[in-house]
Amino acid sequence: MLRASAALLISSSRVPLVSFLNAQFQLHGRSRCLVSEILQDHTKLPSTRNPFSVVRTYCATQDLSTKKCCDSNDLRPMTEEAANELIQKVHGWSLVNEGDTLKLNRYWKVKSFKKGLEFFQIVADIAEAEGHHPDLHLVNWNDVKIEIWTHSIGGLTENDFILASKISALDLHHLLRKTSN
Ligand SMILES: C[C@H](O)[C@H](O)[C@H]1CNC2=NC(N)=NC(=O)C2=N1
């Protein structure tokens, strides 16, 4: 029922789509995830035949760092095509395919081992607030690597890009070594 009525609403409305749907259906949590899955389902069509292409444009311009992670158990792994589109929205991150599992990776060089742990604490606070967690690596005393993917479904969901975007938005200059220009 929701899929059909959502499809009808999407093609007819001219207001910001996700807020329109959320308002109409008072969507929160799981049902909000369902909306994003409905939109994701319909973004697999080529945009020329995709009635939801306006949605994809709308979603693609919404700042991921202002979104909230939702229960990823309701979602399915994102296609590589969708991941290649969303990766444009997260500064500094790479999309990698490790043994058929798509992941997001990013590297930093910190000023010291302790600054590395300070960095991890800042990221941990974000992860706990979002209920979505990265894999944190600190090696050679000052090399940081963060990997993000949705473990429960063995692939990428929008939650991973939201978390990556929030990490990218951090002001970390006091923790990072100056990069040689
Ligand atoms: C119950 C809890 O919300 C889930 O186990 C969350 C915790 N954080 C998570 N983080 C990541 N990256 N993937 C998950 O599948 C995941 N699941």
* Cα 112 from Cα 105, distance rounded (Å): 21
181 residues of the chain, pLDDT tens digit each: 444 544 444 444 454 554 555 554 444 444 444 444 444 444 444 444 444 443 332 344 469 999 999 887 777 899 999 999 999 999 899 999 999 999 999 999 999 999 999 999 999 999 999 999 999 999 999 999 999 999 999 999 999 999 999 999 999 999 999 876 4
* pLDDT at residue number 20: 56
| Ligand 1 probe mutation, 152, 156, 167, most atoms within 8 A of CB | 152
* pLDDT at residue number 112: 97
* pLDDT at residue number 2: 46
* pLDDT at residue number 180: 60
Atom 1 of ligand 1 has which residue's CA nearest to it? 131
Report CA torsion sign: 84, 147, 135, 151: positive
Atom 2 of ligand 1 has which residue's CA nearest to it? 131
Query: Could you say which DSSP state residue 108 is in?
Result: E
* Cα 162 from Cα 83, distance rounded (Å): 12
- The pair phi, psi for residue 85, each rounded to 5°, is -75, -45
- Spell out which residues line ligand 1, taking CB within 6 angstroms: 72, 131-133, 150-152
Rounded to two decimals, the ipTM of the complex is 0.96
Atom 7 of ligand 1 has which residue's CA nearest to it? 132
* Cα 10 from Cα 4, distance rounded (Å): 10
Find all residues with CB under 8 Å of 66, minimum gap 6, and list them. Answer: none
* pLDDT at residue number 73: 75
Question: Which two three-digit tokens encode residue 73?
Answer: 């158990």
* pLDDT at residue number 107: 98
Query: Cβ distance 119 to 110 under 8 Å?
Result: yes
| Ligand 1 probe mutation, 78, 128, 133, most atoms within 8 A of CB | 133
